[in-house]
Amino acid sequence: MKMAISKMRSRFWNIVLLVASALLAGIAAGQNLTYRQDPGWQPPQAAVIRSNPLAQNTGAIGGGRKLFLRECSECHGQEGSGRKRAADLLLPEVQKQSDGALFWKITNGNARHGMPSFSRLPELQRWQLVLYLRQLPASASSASPAQKE
Amino acid sequence: MRRVTRYIFLFMLAALPAWAQESPYFVTYDHHLEEPGNLEVETQSNAGFPRHSEPSYFAPYIELEYGITTRWTSELYLEGQSRSGDSTIFTGWRLENRFRPLAREHRINPILYFEYENINEASRIQKEAPGHATEFNVPNSESRHIRAHELETKLILSSDVHDWNISENFIAEKNFSHNEGIEFGYAFGVSRPLGTIASAANCHFCRENFIAGAEVFGGAGSTQAFGFQDTAHYFAPALSWQVSDNSSLRFSPAIGLTSKSAAVLLRFGYSYEIRGFKDKLAGLFRSKQP
């Protein structure tokens, strides 16, 4: 009797594990791997009008580059030109956004499109990233690399 | 020969790589999840020194943390334990999932945590200390045979305020193997990076690479005996050091605050993050271009 109960318990936990594994595999396979611009990913006006406190601090760009290579280049590429699942940061659609908008997007991420939140970075480091994004060389098609809205 | 095997096993657990930069906490969770597609391999150890004449112990564990989506992180733990003057044993495994219900950053960010534990009573990694205090004087030969299938849930509340992280964890744990009721616990943590602006240099000892903090954690009894009687509580300063872009070290000495707590816990952690792990793995199975 005891053995039968023990066997049933063991079978129960095996089934639980199997279901959990299948669930994990299914979700992983269902991840979005193709980047599309998300029109719904809009920062609030209060965030858009914020200015970069490091805007005049050109010495902070180097640190921004270091952070970019560490935190962003895996998806956006070393030059920021994007990969299959991340935005090309040289595009005018990106560069024309205000510093505040870019800061908000780095801080909050976009869960629907796989962009993680970087709120774990100190605030000044996120502004350093914005500063560095402005320095990325403009692509041939982008006419004005650093316009603010 | 068996002793040599045990030490090799412990060494392997303690020497394998694992978490890059992140909070210095060992017990408290904040709301920052693993980035999707990244795998973090982490090894941690918990050396405990109980009060009185109870033997000390060393409990290493390996943690594999994978970002499934931006709002879902899953972790697998494999743990062991070695007790002074006793044996070295494997104490079980845990599967943990953390979900972030809200997409954006808020003043308070909730995370839902579910963990299944298939361990035995010899487990000493002390990832938390819910319920009543652990009995330290039971030999491994006895405690290893007492299995524990447990479901642990946590409500994690975490805020980032001017570069400070403030996190609160509320724990409820149910052991399905024994009638212990539902056990409760808590963990609170505060941390802050020592430097908030990144230098251009690739330096190892820059202030920005260090995060200091402190946490308190303990038990609050169970549904059978709710309250702080016979519970363990600890206060633990903690420090993490980002050694390189992918790896970090953590250290935390915890001090027992009650007579039922161990006098001191010493924790070390080393983590290594494999960025784009999913893509790298997929690349291995991709057909070659002609």
Q: What is the CATH number of the domain that holds B212?
A: 2.40.160.40
Q: Do B72 and A128 touch (CB under 8 A)?
A: no
B287 domain residue, yes or no: no
Is any Cβ of chain A less than 8 angstroms from the Cβ of B147? no
One-letter identity of residue B163 = D
Nearest by CB to residue B22, choosing from A60, A120, A128, is A120
A93 domain residue, yes or no: yes
Candidate from A93-97, A106-110, A129-133, B257-261 with smallest mean pLDDT: A93-97
Please say if the pLDDT value at position A20 is more than 60.
Answer: no
A81 domain residue, yes or no: yes
HSE-up of B158 (CA within 13 Å, CB side)?
30
Q: Which residues span the domain enclosing A11? A: 1-30
Same domain, A11 and A64: no
pLDDT at position A24, please?
47
Confidence of residue A148 (pLDDT cuts 50, 70, 90): very low
Q: Do A111 and B35 touch (CB under 8 A)?
A: no
Query: B10 in helix, strand or coil?
Result: helix
d(CA B241, CA B22): 9
A56 domain residue, yes or no: yes
More confidently predicted of A12 and B236: B236
Q: Which residues of A touch B35 (CB under 8 A)?
A: 116
Q: What is the pLDDT of residues B89-127, one digit of tens each?
A: 999 999 999 999 998 999 999 999 999 999 999 999 999
Please say if the pLDDT value at position B160 is more than 90.
Answer: yes
Same domain, A21 and A83: no
Confidence of residue A99 (pLDDT cuts 50, 70, 90): very high
pLDDT at position B131, please?
93
Q: Which residues of B touch A65 (CB under 8 A)?
A: 200
Q: Do A119 and B32 touch (CB under 8 A)?
A: yes
Same domain, A99 and A60: yes
The listed range with the strongest mean pLDDT (A120-129, B50-59, B197-206) is: A120-129
| Interface predicted TM-score (ipTM) | 0.83
Please say if the pLDDT value at position A139 is more than 50.
Answer: no
Please say if the pLDDT value at position A82 is more than 70.
Answer: yes
pLDDT at position A114, please?
86
Same domain, A20 and A50: no
What residues have CB less than 8 Å from A83, skipping those under 6 apart? A35, A75, A76, A77
Confidence of residue A31 (pLDDT cuts 50, 70, 90): very low
More confidently predicted of B8 and B78: B78
pLDDT at position B93, please?
97
A144 touches A92 (CB < 8 A): yes
Is any Cβ of chain B less than 8 angstroms from the Cβ of A29? no
For B97, the enclosing helix (H) or strand (E) is strand B88-99
Of the residues B69, B108, B285, the best mutation for testing chain A's interface (the one with the most A CB atoms within 10 Å of its CB) is B69
Domain count, chain B: 1
Chain A's closest residue to B277, CA to CA, is A74
B132: left (phi over 0), alpha (psi -120 to 50) or beta: beta
Same domain, A130 and A57: yes
B290 domain residue, yes or no: no
B119 domain residue, yes or no: yes
Q: How confident is the prediction for chain A on average, in pLDDT?
A: 78
Question: For A30-91, where are the alpha helices, taking DSSP H only?
Answer: 45-48, 61-71, 73-76
Is any Cβ of chain B less than 8 angstroms from the Cβ of A131? no
Same domain, A51 and A115: yes
pLDDT at position B26, please?
96
Is any Cβ of chain A less than 8 angstroms from the Cβ of B162? yes
Is B93 exposed, middle or buried (CB count within 10 Å of its CB: 0-12, 13-18, 19+)? middle
d(CA A111, CA A7): 42
Chain A's closest residue to B166, CA to CA, is A120
Q: Do A125 and B208 touch (CB under 8 A)?
A: yes
Same domain, A72 and A131: yes
Please say if the pLDDT value at position B73 is more than 70.
Answer: yes
Please say if the pLDDT value at position B250 is more than 60.
Answer: yes
Same domain, A53 and A106: yes
Same domain, A126 and A75: yes
Same domain, A26 and A55: no
Is any Cβ of chain A less than 8 angstroms from the Cβ of B199? yes
B250 touches B238 (CB < 8 A): yes
d(CA B38, CA B241): 20
Is any Cβ of chain A less than 8 angstroms from the Cβ of B163? yes
A143 domain residue, yes or no: no
Residue B257's CB is within 10 A of a number of other CB atoms, namely: 14
Q: Which residues of B touch A132 (CB under 8 A)?
A: none
A40 domain residue, yes or no: no
A113 touches A36 (CB < 8 A): yes
CATH number at residue A57: 1.10.760.10
Please say if the pLDDT value at position B12 is more than 80.
Answer: no
Q: What is the pLDDT of residues B22-62, one digit of tens each?
A: 689 999 999 999 999 999 999 999 999 998 888 999 999 99
Confidence of residue A34 (pLDDT cuts 50, 70, 90): very low
Same domain, A14 and A69: no
Please say if the pLDDT value at position A126 is more than 90.
Answer: yes
B288 domain residue, yes or no: no
Retrieve residue B53's tokens: 């004449």
CA distance B180 to chain A (A): 19
Q: How confident is the prediction for chain B on average, in pLDDT?
A: 90
Q: Which residues span the domain enclosing B233? A: 2-282
Chain B's closest residue to A113, CA to CA, is B70
d(CA B102, CA A17): 27
Confidence of residue A1 (pLDDT cuts 50, 70, 90): low
pLDDT at position B53, please?
83
pLDDT at position A11, please?
67
Residues listed for chain B: 290
B89 touches B121 (CB < 8 A): no
d(CA B121, CA B146): 6
% of chain B surpassing 70 pLDDT: 91
B178 touches B148 (CB < 8 A): yes
DSSP count for chain B of H helices, then E strands: 3, 12
Confidence of residue A49 (pLDDT cuts 50, 70, 90): very high
Mean pLDDT of A110-120: 90
B268 domain residue, yes or no: yes
Q: Do A122 and B200 touch (CB under 8 A)?
A: no
Of the residues B25, B104, B165, the best mutation for testing chain A's interface (the one with the most A CB atoms within 10 Å of its CB) is B104
Please say if the pLDDT value at position B71 is more than 80.
Answer: yes
Same domain, A104 and A74: yes
